Amino acid sequence: MPESADSSSLTSTSCAPASSLLKIEPTLPCTIGCAALPEIRVAVNQIDASSTPVVANANQFLYQGKYWCVPESFQFPRETNRLNGWRMWLCGVVVVSNNVTYRIKPFRSFRGIDFAEKAVKREFTTKWKPIFKLMEQCPGLEIPAQVDEAFVQSSFVAATEFLKTRVGYVWRRAKDVGMLSDYAIGTWSKYIQRSEIEKHGTVQDKAHLPQATARNQADKRRRVFTIVGDARPDGRSRRNKVARATQWRNLEREAVADAFEGAFRVQ
């Protein structure tokens, strides 16, 4: 049965055991699997949080009058680096809600409509999706149905090399290349934006940019507006000290008053 009135949610990598939900360990093996698990239906509060996670389906959680695939208090992990984020993108996370442990699907399967809160949706579309969608374009990368830690590591290395051909300027500008591994996901999604590449990118980076369209570049046309009836001969706009609506209301009141006075005027 779907869960309602969700009270708490803790996130971690799905490759970590449920007992270490508060801490993300990038070196932990994918023991309980990024592998697909059978769906298990349980009633809320009938399973301990340390037990095997329940695979949350699309209608697992009920709140705000709808069914959702994540708990109401779900939040994306803050200041996550690219490796841990890539692991969540491929494997998902383990969360605890109402003393029940759930395995949430891989982040790459999320859509905007999966989130009730606009802030969560915005974080997904602006921080998580841009960088990892670009990494998925790595030539030869095929994500299997069951992902293990070995694939997470190997695919991350390959995707990183691919990134160097698209945003190589990030490595060139870094004072300490070792610090790049600590860059947050939001920082990477900023660096891969077209405007950043056009401004700071290398010749190779700019050569790989897609063709400019009205949607992926800033509109540099100058817009000129002419207010009919309010423009002066010298081109300057005349300020309306009284709103037009107020002017019309005053005219209507005067017309009604004149008509009323005329009806009762002594002949």
Q: Evaluate whether residue 168 is within a structural domain.
A: yes
More confident residue, 70 or 227: 70
**Residue 39 scores a pLDDT above 70:** no
Q: Would residue 32 count as lying in a domain?
A: yes
Low-confidence winner among 23-32, 82-91, 188-197 (lowest mean pLDDT): 23-32
**Is residue 225 situated within a structural domain?**
no
pLDDT digits (tens, 9 = 90+) for 219-248: 556 665 555 555 555 656 555 555 666 777
Please report the pLDDT score of residue 8 as a whole number.
43
Total domains present in the chain: 1
159, pLDDT greater than 60 = yes
Taking the C-alpha atoms of residue 173 and residue 11, their distance in angstroms, rounded to an integer, is 33
Averaged pLDDT, 106-129: 95
In the numeric block, which tokens belong to residue 42?
Answer: 């349980």
Q: What pLDDT sits at residue 4?
A: 53
| Average per-residue pLDDT for the chain | 78
What proportion of the chain, given as a percentage, has pLDDT over 90?
A: 54
Euclidean distance between CA atoms 219 and 234, whole angstroms: 29
Maximum Cα interatomic distance, the chain, rounded to a whole number of Å = 104
Give residue 71's domain range. Answer: 3-207
Residue 237's pLDDT is 57
What is the 8-class DSSP label of residue 82?
Answer: H
Percent of the chain exceeding pLDDT 70 equals 66
CA distance 158 to 172: 19
* Alpha-carbon span 56 to 166, nearest angstrom: 36
Helix/strand/coil for 18: helix
pLDDT at position 22 over 90: no
Instruction: Give me the pLDDT at residue 140, please.
Output: 95
7 occurs within a structural domain: yes
3-class DSSP state of 123: helix
Residue 81: which of 44, 128, 48, 33 has the closest Cα? Answer: 128
Of 121, 49, 128, which Cα lies nearest the Cα of 89?
128
What does the pLDDT average to over 27-56? 50
Phi, psi of 191 (to 5 degrees): -65, -25
Q: Average of pLDDT values for 179-208?
A: 93
How confident is the model at residue 194, as a pLDDT? Answer: 93
The answer on pLDDT for 95 being more than 80 is: yes
Coil, helix or strand at residue 198: helix
First to last CA, the chain: 85
Query: Is 117 inside any structural domain?
Result: yes
Residue 19 predicted with pLDDT over 50:
no
Q: How many angstroms separate the CA atoms of 189 and 204, rounded?
A: 19
pLDDT above 50 for 206 = yes
Distance CA 60, CA 70 (A): 8
Residue 244: its pLDDT value, please?
A: 66
The answer to whether position 191 is within a domain reads: yes
Please list, residue by residue across 204-226, b when 16 or more beta carbons sit within 10 angstroms of its beta carbon and e when fewer do: ebeeeeeeeeeeeeeeeeeeeee
Which residue matches tokens 């995707």? 159
Q: 241 lies in a domain? A: no
Strand pairing category for 54-55 and 100-104: parallel
Give, in degrees to the nearest 5, the angle at Cα 171 between 168 and 175.
155
State how beta strands 3-4 and 61-63 pair.
parallel
Domain assignment of residue 243, yes or no = no
Pairing of strands 66-68, 93-97: unpaired
